[in-house]
Amino acid sequence: MRPRGGSGPGPVWAQRVRQLQRGLRTKEERIVVLETENAALHLKLAEYQGLAGRSTNEVLQLYSAHGQQQKLQRSSVVTHLHEAIKRLKQDMKSLRSFALELSKDFQRQCKAYLYQALTAVQEIQLQNEAMQMFQIKAFDLEQSLQEVTERYEKEKQKRRVLHNSLVELRGNIRVHCRIRPSLPFDNADEHSVSQDRQRNFSEKVAYAVDDETVLVKCSRPGHASINKTFQFERVYSAFESQDTVFADVAPLLTSLLDGYNVCIMAYGQTGSGKTYTMLGPQLEENFAFALEDESELGIIPRATQEVFRLISEKPPGSYWVEVSVVEVYNNEIFDLLAKDSCGKVFGVKRDVVTTREGKSNVPLLTYETVENASEFLHLVIKGLQLRVRHPTLVHAHSSRSHLVVTLTITTVVSGDSFGTSWEDEQISQRLNKEFSCTYPQKTRENRSTSSSRASSPAQLEATEKPKQVRTRLQLVDLAGSECVGMSGVTGAALRETSFINRSLSALADVLGAIAEQRSHVPYRNSKLTHLLQDSVGGDAKLLVMLCISPDQKYLTESLQSLGFGTRARQVQRGQIKKKNLPVQSKAK
């Protein structure tokens, strides 16, 4: 049955057919395109096949050419190898002949060397025998040298002991000399000096030959060099320590507690190391002792420690110690421990007088009692803070005054503890006989004293009562002598230099008068010599520590100091007496 009014499936199918036809045409077009591309590919394939054929032919040609080239190379290599083999055969023949000659020569040399070795072995054996003999002789010589050295040291020690005893008996002044090392300030002012002159200034001219001799090389332009030697009880080189210096000073401190006065004095030009030797290094701000390194401490702090150590070995309460500190500045004496009403320390001018007994004394001088070395050093530091100092071209911290630190020891003794023993009296009698020509008056006085000591029953009775004996240790740091042209001082410092040089000249005059045994000794020409009258005049064991510089720059001043020490060493003051008489208590 057909559908009505044209609403059947006809249009649908027609539309479907049109779609299929369009698809067919599209497929056919696609087939045409693919067939075209296929034809192009066939053309390319044919082209590539042709190229491959041509490449194969070229490869075959190259291979054949390579084969021919290899054949040619192999033939040339073989030819070269044949030629090389011929040359090697010729070289082998030459080497064989050379090796034969070398072997023959080696055998000849071996025989010669063997003969030389045998000869050397024989010589070595002979030398060994000789060496053994030398070793035996050397051992014997070493033993002999050691024995001689030991004997020499013993004899040297005995000589030193005898010399010290002779110095003790004669009353000679002990003189030690210390050569300081070169210091930076020695060349500080030489920037304007020519190099040749600066080299001459810095040249060392003073040397310690041994522990008793100083050698000084004296030279002037246009003159031959002259060597001068100076002999002293002890000489210290620039490398010897403070410990070594004090070890030779310490025995004097034992004499202090045995009843003798002791004075240790440092002498030399400014900057020569006097204050370092006596005090040690000091801090610039307050002049306190640098106690961090005790090995650098000088004679004054060490001597105090030693004195209190010796006192600690004695019965408690039998000793007490007082200290005074004075300076001699511009020929005036100043008490550096005097206090004002507020208790503040300030320098007060004092005077020195001569007592009826002929002893020097400073009235109203301040004495402070101390019980240990720390208290003593505290007071010395206070005094040092008031000491006058002024910089010069030679020394930046030059002391402008003489410092005298006095340690007074009062001993309470009973009986005849400080009296002269029988052995001491016999020694004194032998001394009087030996030196009667030199000291006739003193000999008679000693004999009368000893006879009165032996025959006076009242004195024997008096010695049984307790008494006080006062001994004194004076430690003196002298101001340094100066050459005005070298120090460059002016104004007030120039006036200080004048007083310093005059006081040191007065000290030399006093020693000269004592050495020549003049009837008048000019102690009062200077406050310094007046203050030190007892110590210099023979009432104390006196040690002078000379301090000199080794450089050419200070040659004149060093020779002056060495000359002073030589003159001081020749002074004979007679035997020093013990302090065995009671003393009155001193008012504080």
Residue among 171, 232, 234 at smallest CA distance from 563 = 232
Pairing mode, if any, of strands 319-329 and 467-477? unpaired
Helix (H) or strand (E) holding 104: helix 10-170
Residue among 570, 543, 576, 554 at smallest CA distance from 267 = 543
For residues 135 and 124, give the distance between their C-alpha atoms in angstroms, rounded to a whole number.
15
- The first and second tokens of residue 201, run together, are 């200034």
* Number of residues in the chain: 588
Residue 96, SS3 per DSSP:
helix
Residue 433, SS3 per DSSP:
helix
Rounded to a whole number of angstroms, the distance between the first and last alpha carbons of the chain is 171
Residue among 489, 498, 335 at smallest CA distance from 398 = 489
- The first and second tokens of residue 254, run together, are 């034992």
- Residue 503 annotated as lining a ligand binding site: no
- Residue 270 annotated as lining a ligand binding site: yes
Q: From residue 98, give the alpha-carbon distance in Å to each of 84, 94, 104, 105, 109.
A: 21, 6, 10, 10, 16
- The first and second tokens of residue 95, run together, are 């080497």
Residue 443, SS3 per DSSP:
helix
- The first and second tokens of residue 76, run together, are 């040339």
Amino acid, res. 152: Y
> Which phi and psi (to 5°) does residue 362 adopt?
-115, 100
Amino acid, res. 21: Q
Pairing mode, if any, of strands 234-236 and 174-179? parallel
- The first and second tokens of residue 475, run together, are 């430690």
- Residue 275 annotated as lining a ligand binding site: yes
Partner residues linked to 399 by β-bridges: 389
- Residue 109 annotated as lining a ligand binding site: no
DSSP string, 243-305: HHHHHHHHHHHHHHHTT-EEEEEEEEBTTSSHHHHHT--B-TTT--B-TT-GGG--HHHHHHH
Residue 23, SS3 per DSSP:
helix
- Residue 317 annotated as lining a ligand binding site: no
Cβ–Cβ < 8 Å for 257, 314: yes
Q: What residues have CB less than 8 Å from 415, skipping those under 6 apart?
A: 463, 464
- Residue 383 annotated as lining a ligand binding site: no
Which residue ranges make up the annotated binding site for ATP? Answer: 268-275
Residue ranges for the known binding site are 268-275
